[in-house]
Amino acid sequence: MKRSALLHAELSQVIAGMGHGDLLVIGDAGLPIPAGPLRIDLAVARGVPRFTEVLDAVLSELQVERAVIAREACGVDGLQRPAWSAALPLAPEQVSHAQFKQLCRAAKAMVRTGECTPYANVLLYAGVAF
């Protein structure tokens, strides 16, 4: 049973069909989307919708077991997590941006937001509610 409304019907359908370990990517407007994953383009204009709006909506519907972000999003020393990562239910793993893009190939779907902040991207692995 749905707990709340999502931003987009196609996104809602993808989340409803996700199984344990399935991968969903939420990205900024500049993240390249490889062939393979379903592309859900939510961008209406520069900055609309914001990455955080989409992330919050997805997290309200999806049980997340693991999250991965690009190390480059964490500052030069890799110690400063982006402010939006506080919304994640657990500390995200860090990989290089090149590794992040490689992992995207295995995604069930990639969601493109209107965000124009570099490295506002996250890989979410679906978990189970129990």
Is 97 catalytic? The answer is no
Q: What angle do CA 51, 24, 13 make, to 5 degrees?
A: 95
- Which of 5, 16, 20, 118 is flagged as catalytic? 20
φ/ψ bin of 99: left (φ > 0), alpha (ψ from -120 to 50), beta (otherwise)? alpha
- Write out the two tokens for 68: 């991965």
Helix ranges (DSSP H) in the chain: 9-16, 51-61, 97-104
Which residue in 60, 8, 6, 52 sits closest to 28, CA to CA?
52
* Residues with a known catalytic role: 20
